[in-house]
Amino acid sequence: MFWQRKDLLGLRYLTPEEINLILDTAGPMKEIIGRKIKKTPTLRGRSMVTLFYENSTRTRSSFDLAGKFLSADTVGLSSSSSSVAKGESLRDTGLTLNAMGVDVVVIRHPASGAAEYLAKCIPAAVINAGDGTHEHPTQALLDMYTIREKKGSLTGLKVVIIGDLLHSRVARSNIWGLTKMGAEVRVAGPMTLIPQDIKAMGVKVYTKVEEALAGADVVNVLRIQMERQQQGLFPSIREYSRLYGINQSRLELTAADAIVLHPGPMNRGVEIDPQIAYGNRSVITEQVTNGVAVRMALLYLLTGGEYHAISN
Ligand code: CP
């Protein structure tokens, strides 16, 4: 199968076959990350710019490393250190980068739809690295890769997503992706942090976290996004932690081999107990490694690579 899209804007738009193609391509990429010399000539002569209008540790640095491991030329731009700070528009910034011959632009932006807008403005491939509360497709792909690696398949798994679903682009991308791949997706959190129309995305909604966790195979704990909270959506951090935080007694409600994910950055002791975050059910560190592999796969596919044709 060939990748046929110019951009990666969201999992809402992908078919299960396309999702499988990305996850299958990430496997050989992960093997490269495990080598002592993490360098292949696959994308030599190709270029990638990361254009970040919001802070990031994982996504930005993993795209940068993904490009470098494949020998692409990489440039990192942030809104505070570029001409965006002088008022340059997203369209003009994109056209400027495009005129320099860039092949892939990876964008993170606080406005939902920004990646799609940029993709319409420029012929270069655009990858959405998180747009407002809309989607964060590469995070969901690395989550799905990690789950598939641990569980063998996504089909039929009971996956619980807990927390601030209202503001979470990670949750939205996971829901689109996991439901397409045949998983049962349960969401849980305070009613004030669950969008009213979320059932239409094919999920089961729970307000009691214990009911959602019963027999679950996977628990994906969302970050409480302090920076996006309006007043009054939940009483207090301590109350949130008491009612919805993932701790040992709640984890015991899940399947005996259930795994715990968190997209990071974590508010340790708020949405997740530190003992769980660093315990033997946690796959949070593996998520970070897999993030590089999935992003290598995407750079490869969006620049014209075929699965099974990766050169060493
Ligand atoms: N999960 C995630 O997007 O992390 P960063 O904000 O550090 O990129």
What's the confidence (pLDDT) of residue 307?
A: 60
Q: Which of 139, 164, 283, when mutated, tests ligand 1's pocket best, judged by the most ligand atoms within 8 Å of its CB?
A: 139
User: 208 in helix, strand or coil?
Assistant: coil
Atom from ligand 1 closest to the CA of residue 60: 8
pTM of this structure: 0.95
Give the up-direction half-sphere exposure of residue 56: CA atoms within 13 A in the CB hemisphere. Answer: 28
pLDDT 10s digits, 6-29: 999 999 999 999 999 999 999 999
Q: Which of 55, 56, 289, when mutated, tests ligand 1's pocket best, judged by the most ligand atoms within 8 Å of its CB?
A: 56
What's the confidence (pLDDT) of residue 17?
A: 97
What's the confidence (pLDDT) of residue 234?
A: 74
- Going by C-alpha positions, the residue among 118, 99, 120 that lies closest to residue 108 is 118
How many whole angstroms separate alpha carbon 205 and alpha carbon 212? 8
| d(CA 11, ligand 1 centre) in Å | 17
What's the confidence (pLDDT) of residue 2?
A: 85
Query: In angstroms, how far is the first alpha carbon of the chain from the final one?
Result: 20
- Going by C-alpha positions, the residue among 235, 185, 170, 181 that lies closest to residue 19 is 181
What's the whole-number mean pLDDT along residues 81-91?
92
Band (1; pLDDT cuts 50, 70, 90)? confident
Between the alpha carbon of residue 275 and those of residues 272, 279, 282, the distances in Å are 8, 6, 9
Atom from ligand 1 closest to the CA of residue 62: 8
Q: Which of 57, 107, 161, when mutated, tests ligand 1's pocket best, judged by the most ligand atoms within 8 Å of its CB?
A: 57
What residues pair up with 104 in beta bridges, in sequence order? 48, 125
Ligand 1, atom 1: nearest CA belongs to which residue? Answer: 263
How many whole angstroms separate alpha carbon 275 and alpha carbon 161? 19
| d(CA 309, ligand 1 centre) in Å | 30
pLDDT 10s digits, 151-207: 999 999 999 999 999 999 999 999 999 999 999 999 999 999 999 999 999 999 998
| d(CA 63, ligand 1 centre) in Å | 11
What's the confidence (pLDDT) of residue 312?
A: 36
What's the confidence (pLDDT) of residue 311?
A: 38
What are 110's two structure tokens?
């606080």
Distant-in-sequence, close-in-space partners of 176: CB < 8 Å, separation ≥ 6: 10, 11, 12, 14, 135, 140, 201
| d(CA 139, ligand 1 centre) in Å | 8
| d(CA 167, ligand 1 centre) in Å | 14
Q: Which of 52, 54, 59, when mutated, tests ligand 1's pocket best, judged by the most ligand atoms within 8 Å of its CB?
A: 59
How many whole angstroms separate alpha carbon 296 and alpha carbon 33? 10
Instruction: Examine the pLDDT at 309 and tell me if it is beyond 60.
Output: no
Q: Which residues line ligand 1 (CB under 6 A)?
A: 56-59, 130, 139, 263-265
What are 230's two structure tokens?
């309006």
What's the confidence (pLDDT) of residue 305?
A: 76
Q: How many residues does the chain have?
A: 312
How many whole angstroms separate alpha carbon 84 and alpha carbon 206? 42
| d(CA 133, ligand 1 centre) in Å | 13
Helical axes 90-99 vs 114-121, angle rounded to 10°: 40
Ligand 1, atom 3: nearest CA belongs to which residue? Answer: 59
- Give the β-pairing of 218-221 and 259-261: parallel
| d(CA 74, ligand 1 centre) in Å | 19
Instruction: Quote the distance between the C-alpha of residue 289 and its chain's center.
Output: 13
Atom from ligand 1 closest to the CA of residue 108: 8
What's the confidence (pLDDT) of residue 225?
A: 77
pLDDT 10s digits, 94-151: 999 999 999 999 999 999 999 999 999 999 999 999 999 999 999 999 999 999 999 9
| d(CA 95, ligand 1 centre) in Å | 26
